[in-house]
Every structure is written in structure tokens, then in C-alpha cells.
């Protein structure tokens, strides 16, 4: 069950509306780095969470609900940035200032004219669930595996790319109100990165969570190849080494090594095509 409070989680103010920036904000709504993505990811992880305690489920659902508030903030920001946008090419102001840049295509991610038309025709100068190119968010980047550790690592990645996008938007913003809103959202991304890592630490850190799933007995996997870094250069020349090529593995259960990648199998030989497969006659025995 959800409840609605008409007040925003954080103030959203726009002193100088900027239709170009409105389009950029669409990426934070419906892009693969955006708020719809993390909102739905945390909801489905929470709804499917199993275990003897409900604290992880509760945490996920509370954070997912917060992300709904972030979508609301961004949608409000898009609408406010479109308030001075023209609804026709003939409208006064379409050829000057920011609006002129909009209609003329002065946007860092291709022309924005088509996007502005969509904002006019489909939503009445409001936000919609799509990225900055107008491609609808299709839920294909929602990761909810049912494995808590795997989901936490996915969440760290999601919040990291989300924070990268928020920082880029902050740097691109010229309006003080937009910078203020984004500096809040950047702070929340910091917290969310930390909370997902805190769950991993609580589960034993890398040593306790890796490899995922840690419920599978490692003696059943190939013990000769589970901590080798394969070198796939033509002549076998090893690349510059790093933490992943020598020393103890992060889970403390093995030792990294660097070996040349060699074929351990044979060249595959497939049988002839079936007569009813639609293949050429030369492929059929």
C-alpha cells in the first residue's frame, strides 16, 4: 500500500526555464541510469526478498518509495523548464535565446525539436517515461535475481551510474534551482551506494558473499580454473598485472594467477542439416 503526499521530497525551483535542459533531465527519468530504473529494481527486489528477517525487504521497499519521489521531482523540473517553450514554430520567441537554440537544434545530444514536439503533442509540455532521445523505458534493465548479494552489487552499479549522470547534469545546469535539486539527488545517490555496500559488509563482505551464490559448494567447480586470469594475446605476452593477477583472491578462498588462454577442447563438428530444416541441399546428408 502506498500513500500520497502532494508536497515534494525536496524543493524544485526553476528561475530561468530551459527546454534544452528539460530534455537532458528526461535521461534521469527514463534512461538506463535513471530513477524509473532504480525505483522498479528496488521494488521487485523487495517484493521477492526471502529470508528469516524482513529488514532487507523493508529497506528495499523504503528506498524504492523514495525513488518514486525522485521521479516526481524530476517530472516537475521538466515541466517547469518547458513553461516558456513554444507550441508552434511561429510563436513569438521561437527564434531567440534558448528557445531559438531548441528549435534550431543546438543541443549536445542531437536536435531537440522532435522531443519538444512530443512534449507538446503527447504530454502538454510535461515529462514522460522515456530517455532524452524519446525512447520509452522498457524495464529491460531491472535486475532482481532473488539472490541478495547479487542484487546488492547490481544496486551499487545502478547508483554509481545514476550519480555519474546526476553530476553531469549538475555541471550542465545553469539555473540555481536545478543545481540545488541535483545537489540533493547526488547526496542521496551517495547514501544509497553506501547502504548497499553496508548490506554486503553485514553479510561478511567480499569474503562472505563471494562467489555468488555462496551456497554452491566450491568443491564442485573446476578448482584449476576458478582464480586464473586468462591472457588472450596472440603470442601469449602477458599484459601489465594488477590486483587480479596475483596474490590472494578477494574472497580469501584462492590465489590469483595469470595464465595463457589455450584451447582445451576440439574444433566442433556438427552433424548434417535435417531434411525438413529448410537448409540448402549441400548441407543435407
74 neighbors 29 (Cβ within 8 angstroms): yes
H helix or E strand, kind and range, residue 231 = strand 228-231
Query: Do 139 and 33 have their domain in common?
Result: yes
pLDDT at position 202: 96
* Dihedral sign computed on CA atoms, order 99, 104, 107, 113: positive
Whether 11 maps to a domain, the answer reads no
Query: Do 157 and 225 have their domain in common?
Result: no
The confidence band for 98, taking pLDDT boundaries of 50, 70 and 90, is very low
The confidence band for 91, taking pLDDT boundaries of 50, 70 and 90, is low
Q: Give the integer Cα–Cα distance in Å for 210 and 252.
A: 9
Q: Give the integer Cα–Cα distance in Å for 194 and 152.
A: 11
Question: How many alpha carbons lie under 13 Å from residue 165 in its C-beta half-sphere?
Answer: 22
Question: Which residue segment(s) compose the domain that 140 sits in?
Answer: 19-206
Whether 14 maps to a domain, the answer reads no
Query: Do 197 and 225 have their domain in common?
Result: no
Q: Which residue(s) pair with 255 in the sheet?
A: 248
Query: Do 60 and 131 have their domain in common?
Result: yes
Whether 211 maps to a domain, the answer reads no
- Summarised one tens digit per residue, pLDDT across range 200-257 is 999 999 999 999 999 999 999 999 999 999 999 998 889 999 999 999 999 999 999 9
Spatial CA neighbour of 215 closest among 150, 153, 263: 150
Query: Do 221 and 193 have their domain in common?
Result: no
What distance, in Å, lies between the first and last C-alpha atoms of the chain?
63
Query: Do 237 and 171 have their domain in common?
Result: no
φ, ψ at 95 (rounded to 5°): -105, 5
H helix or E strand, kind and range, residue 247 = strand 247-248
Whether 252 maps to a domain, the answer reads yes
What share of the chain has pLDDT > 90, as a percent?
80
- DSSP code for 274: P
* Dihedral sign computed on CA atoms, order 36, 41, 42, 43: positive
Per the prediction, the chain carries an average pLDDT of 90
34 neighbors 20 (Cβ within 8 angstroms): no
Query: Do 108 and 179 have their domain in common?
Result: yes
Whether 278 maps to a domain, the answer reads no
pTM listed for this prediction = 0.85
Contact residues for 65 (Cβ-Cβ < 8 A; gap 6+) = 2
By CB atoms closer than 10 A (0-12, 13-18, 19+), residue 126 is: middle
Contacts of range 210-218, beta carbons closer than 8 Å, 24 or more positions apart: 210/149, 210/250, 210/251, 211/251, 212/147, 212/149, 212/150, 212/153, 213/147, 213/149, 213/150, 214/149, 218/253
For the domain that residue 106 is a member of, what is the CATH number? 1.20.1260.10
**Structural domains in the chain (count):** 2
Top-confidence residue, 154 or 84? 154
Query: Do 108 and 172 have their domain in common?
Result: yes
User: DSSP string covering 180-217, please?
Assistant: HHHHHHHHHHHHHHHHHHHHHHHTTHHHHHPSSSTTS-
pLDDT at position 112: 58
Top-confidence residue, 118 or 148? 148
- Summarised one tens digit per residue, pLDDT across range 19-72 is 999 999 999 999 999 999 999 999 999 999 999 999 999 999 999 999 999 999
Query: Do 53 and 191 have their domain in common?
Result: yes
Residue 122 has pLDDT above 90, yes or no: no
Amino acid at each position: 500500500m502506498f500513500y500520497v503526499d502532494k508536497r515534494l521530497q525536496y524543493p524544485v525551483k526553476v528561475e530561468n526555464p530551459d527546454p534544452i535542459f528539460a530534455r537532458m533531465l528526461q535521461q534521469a527519468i527514463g534512461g538506463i541510469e535513471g530513477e524509473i530504473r532504480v525505483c522498479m529494481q528496488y521494488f521487485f527486489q523487495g517484493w521477492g526478498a526471502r529470508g528469516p528477517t524482513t529488514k532487507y525487504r523493508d529497506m528495499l521497499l523504503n528506498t524504492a518509495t523514495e525513488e518514486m519521489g525522485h521521479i516526481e521531482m524530476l517530472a516537475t523540473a521538466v515541466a517547469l523548464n518547458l513553461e516558456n517553450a513554444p507550441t508552434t514554430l511561429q510563436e513569438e520567441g521561437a527564434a531567440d535565446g534558448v528557445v531559438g537554440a531548441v528549435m534550431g537544434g543546438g543541443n549536445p545530444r542531437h536536435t531537440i525539436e522532435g522531443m519538444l514536439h512530443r512534449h507538446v503533442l503527447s504530454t502538454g509540455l510535461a515529462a514522460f517515461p522515456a530517455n532524452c532521445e524519446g525512447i520509452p523505458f522498457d524495464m529491460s534493465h531491472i535486475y532482481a535475481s532473488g539472490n541478495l548479494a547479487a542484487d546488492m552489487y547490481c544496486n551499487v552499479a545502478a547508483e554509481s551510474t545514476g550519480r555519474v549522470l546526476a553530476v553531469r547534469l549538475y555541471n550542465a545546469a545553469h539555473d540555481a534551482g536545478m543545481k540545488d535539486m541535483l545537489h540533493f539527488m547526488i547526496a542521496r545517490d551517495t547514501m544509497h551506494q553506501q547502504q548497499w555496500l553496508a548490506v554486503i559488509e553485514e553479510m561478511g563482505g567480499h569474503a562472505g558473499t563471494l562467489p555468488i551464490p555462496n551456497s554452491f559448494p566450491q568443491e564442485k567447480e573446476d578448482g584449476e580454473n576458478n582464480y586464473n586470469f586468462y591472457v588472450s594475446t596472440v603470442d601469449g605476452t602477458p599484459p601489465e598485472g594488477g590486483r587480479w593477477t596475483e596474490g590472494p583472491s578477494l574472497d580469501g578462498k584462492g590465489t590469483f594467477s595469470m595464465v595463457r588462454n589455450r584451447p582445451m577442447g576440439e574444433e566442433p563438428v556438427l552433424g548434417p542439416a535435417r531434411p525438413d530444416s529448410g537448409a540448402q541441399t549441400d548441407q543435407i546428408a
